[in-house]
Structure 1
Amino acid sequence: MKKNLLILAAFATISSCQINHQEKEEASAVGSGGWLAGDTNEKFEEVAHQLGGFSKTMIEVSYRYSELYWAGMDENWQYADHQVEHLLEALEDGLKRRKERAASAESFLNEAIPSIEAVIKKEDKEEFLKGFRSLTSACNACHAKEGESFIMIKEPEVRTSPVRF
């Protein structure tokens, strides 16, 4: 009996220490300069806010789209394939945060992306240009489905990346 009481007391002490440690951990600010503060839920909410919605996704997609274009112009097919892969990843991550955009993106993901992937495999610049223009049309169609046809995508005119083949 005495042994059971000792075990129970030890367990209660350990549990209490763990709870106190968790409370301190949740209340402590983290990040450079302690910018991420609050309990665990508040911290997760702030991280979600920092990740943003679909507009931050579109920043990366825009970069990948431009790099894809220049990769095709350079006939750097591995780099073009790399850009499509990361463009797709960016869209998938963005759709996790904004599921309501998924219906508009469905044909883009299921048709436009596989189509440009197939064109890249042909390693033909003229075919790539046709496929890229089709991809651009798909971008604009998706924007229109979202009621944002004022966001009109066109082929890049200025190369901003230092990547060359």
Structure 2
Amino acid sequence: MKHWLLGGCAALLACLPTLAEEKVGKSIFDGPPEQRIDALAEIQPGLGVVMNEIGTRFANLYWAANGGNWGLADYQLKELLEAQEVGEATRPGRAPMLKALEENFLVPLQAAINKKDLSQFNPRFAEAERGCNACHTALGYGFIHYHVPRNPPSGWLDFKLKTSPGYKEKTETQ
């Protein structure tokens, strides 16, 4: 038994330099540009990570609009779309469905935000929520059923601050 264990340890120790070389070979800082790009591609978040942010922003935009903080609703939707772009870039196979969701549900939601019209916003939001869940089902993730929490998240955002839409992204030089 000792000989088998010692032999296994020796084999593992012999592999360590190779394992270390593979790890170094996958560094985003070392090697030729193609290798560094491949290393960056391998560590991109999956769509589940991106969807977590999208879900949070989707709920925040609902509570912001319903609280009259249209500026925050506008901002949350724009940030949600940026997160979705990450998903489209890192998971191009999912891009067509993500783009269809944007065109069919999020663009009309933006129009309701721009008008500060809650009577348009809430039905469009409900349609968008159904669209999200239909997409989950179509892709084999029917066990993921999104719904906005019954109560706004507590703490850090004031959903009842009365503001208007019109958020403009500032560049680094502004």
Q: TM-score, normalised by structure 1?
A: 0.70
Q: Which of residues 151, 160, 163 in structure 1 aligns to 2:157?
A: 163
Point out which structure has higher relative CO (alpha carbons under 8 A, 6+ apart): 2
What's the Cα RMSD here? 2.1
The structure that is helix-richer by fraction is: 1
Q: Which of residues 79, 86, 105 in structure 2 aligns to 1:112?
A: 105
* Aligned sequence identity (%): 29
For residues 70-117 of structure 1, give each alpha carbon's deviation from its aligned partner in whole angstroms, at most 9, with x where no partner exists.
Answer: 111211111111111111111112111111002322320211111101
The 8 Å contact of residues 57 and 94 in structure 1, kept in 2 or not, is answered as yes
State the 4+ residue runs in structure 1 displaced beyond 6 angstroms.
Answer: none
Matches within 5 A, 1:1-165: 38-40=30-32, 41-158=34-151, 159-160=153-154, 162-164=156-158, 165=161
Correspondence for 1:16:
none
> Where do 5+ consecutive residues of structure 1 fail to align?
1-28, 30-34
* CA drift at 1:122: 2.5
**Bigger mean CA deviation after superposition, 104-113 or 122-131:** 122-131
The 8 Å contact of residues 64 and 83 in structure 1, kept in 2 or not, is answered as yes
Q: 3-state DSSP class of the match of 1:51? A: coil
Task: Count residues in correspondence.
Answer: 132
The 8 Å contact of residues 69 and 156 in structure 1, kept in 2 or not, is answered as no
Q: TM-score, normalised by structure 2?
A: 0.67
* CA drift at 1:133: 0.9
* CA drift at 1:36: 5.2
